[in-house]
């Protein structure tokens, strides 16, 4: 399954139905008073967060959504039927921006949560409404109000308590496999992980947290090197980062320098993320005797002047993993909530490089090709439900 976390869509609410011009007709009263009813309200377009979706990939195939228009009013004071709402299902963690104004419209964090993104037009008044003492037979009725139309940017930002960062091959995926039921691929080459994975880490019944594994970062990630930093947006909602470090890199690289590389890329992506509490977790300690692990860790901690917590684990054998998970769980109780999404697209846009745009569903060609369909859809109330 493909993982798409940025899309743009067009939504149009239904226009309101027109009011009716009608007069009562009865056998013995041929010139009855006005009885034209009001039009029905147009349908809204509504986003709804649902369980079980974890990508925006469906929106590559359908980008235009139209709610039903309201029906016209009728004689005998009958109000027109309201147009049906168009309900669009999105994954939990979807952040919604207005593409034109850049304004944050909403953040759908819980199953069942709804957000009206385009309001249907009001039904027009029928001629009954215009009856007065001076005009007892009005021939006027109101057309329905226009439905709102908007272009939206949807951004999926996974909801996790804890995020894993580190170079490729540090053992991030092996770690999430060791502590949760998540089963991302593990291999001895870089960029094995191509999209984020979530795992639930259960300490004991009713005590658990959600951990996110994202693709590895390398030097220059902020400029798009490797898989770039675009997946870091999935860590923006975490409260704690685990910085996984290979204590014995095969390439013989300097471990302290490897830590700094990740710190630099984090800082270039977002100052807020760089300032998030971050623990150093040395991995692969099964590769050397305990004394050597101790000595190396001490040297690296000193070289970095590291003040935050430090752990040593083997994701492969599971050594130290359970203890670390418990520490995380209890630390989370005292850590502040992650900040809400940025109020505007402008602020939120860091991290999306042109390459990422291509990968992530910013397909401007497709978009233009859709323009014709769009006008056609506008008049078409018979959109298939998704
Ligand atoms: N000996 C040993 N090998 C490990 C350990 N953890 C991971 N590895 C190995 O390191 C390699 C990389 O592991 P992954 O879990 O795929 O690394 P990753 O950080 O997810 O890598 P990317 O997805 O490419 O960013 C694999 O060959 C793993 O088997 C460990 O604790 N000990
Ligand atoms: Mg991986």
DSSP 20-63: P--B--BTTBSS--B-PPPPPPPPPEEEEEETT----GGGGT--
* pLDDT value at residue 230: 81
Helix runs in 79-219, H state only: 172-179
Q: Is residue 371 part of a domain?
A: no
**pLDDT tens figures, 16-73:** 999 999 998 877 766 789 999 999 999 999 999 999 898 999 998 899 999 999 999 9
Q: What domain count does the chain have?
A: 2
Q: Is residue 197 part of a domain?
A: yes
Q: Pick the residue whose CA is nearest to atom 22 on ligand 1.
A: 168
**pLDDT tens figures, 215-234:** 999 988 888 888 888 899 89
Rounded mean pLDDT of 366-372? Answer: 38
Ligand 1 contacts CB of residue 143 (under 6 A): no
Q: Is residue 366 part of a domain?
A: no
Same domain, 133 and 257: no
Cβ-based neighbour number of residue 101 at 10 Å: 11
Ligand 1 contacts CB of residue 316 (under 6 A): yes
Same domain, 295 and 211: yes
Same domain, 167 and 70: no
* pLDDT value at residue 353: 43
Q: Is residue 71 part of a domain?
A: yes
The CA distance from 66 to 382, in Å, is 9
Q: Is residue 279 part of a domain?
A: yes
Rounded mean pLDDT of 137-164? Answer: 95
Q: Is residue 107 part of a domain?
A: yes
The CA distance from 107 to 364, in Å, is 25
Boundary-marking domain end, from 156, 183, 198:
156
Ligand 1 contacts CB of residue 193 (under 6 A): yes
The CA distance from 251 to 359, in Å, is 30
Give counts: helices (H), strands (E), the chain.
9, 14
Calculate what percentage of the chain has a pLDDT beyond 70.
89
Cβ-based neighbour number of residue 104 at 10 Å: 18
Same domain, 178 and 297: yes
Same domain, 119 and 196: no
Q: What is the DSSP letter of 82?
A: P
Same domain, 52 and 135: yes
Q: What is the CATH number of the domain that holds 145?
A: 2.70.210.12
Same domain, 147 and 179: no
Residue 11 zone, left/alpha/beta (φ > 0; ψ -120 to 50; rest): beta
Q: Is residue 132 part of a domain?
A: yes
Same domain, 16 and 109: yes
Q: What is the CATH number of the domain that holds 176?
A: 3.40.50.300
The CA distance from 186 to 190, in Å, is 10
Structure ipTM: 0.99
Token representation of residue 282: 């040395």
Average pLDDT, the chain: 89
Same domain, 227 and 168: yes
Ligand 1 contacts CB of residue 169 (under 6 A): yes
Calculate what percentage of the chain has a pLDDT beyond 90.
76
Ligand 2: centre distance to CA 173 (Å) = 4
* pLDDT value at residue 95: 96
Same domain, 132 and 189: no
Q: Pick the residue whose CA is nearest to atom 24 on ligand 1.
A: 191
Q: Measuring CA to CA, how many Å separate 24 from each of 74, 138, 180? A: 11, 12, 71
Nearest bound ligand to CA 285? 1
Query: Rounded to 5 degrees, what are φ and ψ at 199?
Result: -135, 145
What interhelical angle do 321-332 and 172-179 show, nearest 10? 80
* pLDDT value at residue 283: 98
* pLDDT value at residue 350: 54
| Strand (E) or helix (H) holding 273 | helix 271-274
Boundary-marking domain end, from 109, 130, 156:
156
Boundary-marking domain end, from 109, 127, 156:
156
- Please give the residue that has the higher pLDDT: either 378 or 76: 76
- Parallel, antiparallel, or unpaired for β 162-165 and 240-246? parallel
Q: Is residue 198 part of a domain?
A: yes
Same domain, 57 and 195: no
* pLDDT value at residue 354: 43
Ligand 1 contacts CB of residue 190 (under 6 A): yes
Same domain, 39 and 60: yes
Print the domain residue range for 202: 162-355
Ligand 2: centre distance to CA 185 (Å) = 7
To test the pocket of ligand 1, the residue of 177, 183, 186, 284 to mutate (highest count of ligand atoms within 8 Å of its CB) is: 186
């Amino acid at each position: 399954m493909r993982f798409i976390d940025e899309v743009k869509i067009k939504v149009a609410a239904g226009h309101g139905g027109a009011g009716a011009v009608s007069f009562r007709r009865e056998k013995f009263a041929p010139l009855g008073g006005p009885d034209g009813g009001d039009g029905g309200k147009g349908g809204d377009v509504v986003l709804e967060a649902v369980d079980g979706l974890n990508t925006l990939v469906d929106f590559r195939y359908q980008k235009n959504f139209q709610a039903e228009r309201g029906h016209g009013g009728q004689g005998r004071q009958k109000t027109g039927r309201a147009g049906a709402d168009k309900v669009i299902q999105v994954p939990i963690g979807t952040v919604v921006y207005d593409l034109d104004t850049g304004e944050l419209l909403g953040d759908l964090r819980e199953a069942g949560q709804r957000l009206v993104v385009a309001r249907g037009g009001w039904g027009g008044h029928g001629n009954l409404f215009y009856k007065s003492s001076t005009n007892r037979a009005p021939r006027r009725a109101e057309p329905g109000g226009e439905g709102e139309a908007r272009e939206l940017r949807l951004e999926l930002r996974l909801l996790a308590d804890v995020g894993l960062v580190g170079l490729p091959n540090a053992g991030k995926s092996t770690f999430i496999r060791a502590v949760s039921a998540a089963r991302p691929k593990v291999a001895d080459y870089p960029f094995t992980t191509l999209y984020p994975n979530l795992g639930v880490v259960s300490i004991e019944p009713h005590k658990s947290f959600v951990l996110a594994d994202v693709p590895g970062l390398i030097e220059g990630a902020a400029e798009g090197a490797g898989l770039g930093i675009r997946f870091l947006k999935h860590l923006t909602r975490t409260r704690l980062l685990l910085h996984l470090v290979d204590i014995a890199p095969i390439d013989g690289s300097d471990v302290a320098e490897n830590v700094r590389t990740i710190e630099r890329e984090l800082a270039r992506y977002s100052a807020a993320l760089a300032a998030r509490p971050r623990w150093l977790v040395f991995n692969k300690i099964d590769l050397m005797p305990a004394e050597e692990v101790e000595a190396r860790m001490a040297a690296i901690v000193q070289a970095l002047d590291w003040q935050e917590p430090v752990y040593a684990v083997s994701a492969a054998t599971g050594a130290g993993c359970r203890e670390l998970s418990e520490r995380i769980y209890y630390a989370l109780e005292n850590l502040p909530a992650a900040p809400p999404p940025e109020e505007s697209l402008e602020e939120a846009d860091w991290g999306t490089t042109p390459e990422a745009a291509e990968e992530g569903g910013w397909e401007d060609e497709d978009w233009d090709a859709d323009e014709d369909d769009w006008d056609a859809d506008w008049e078409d109330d018979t959109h298939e439900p998704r």
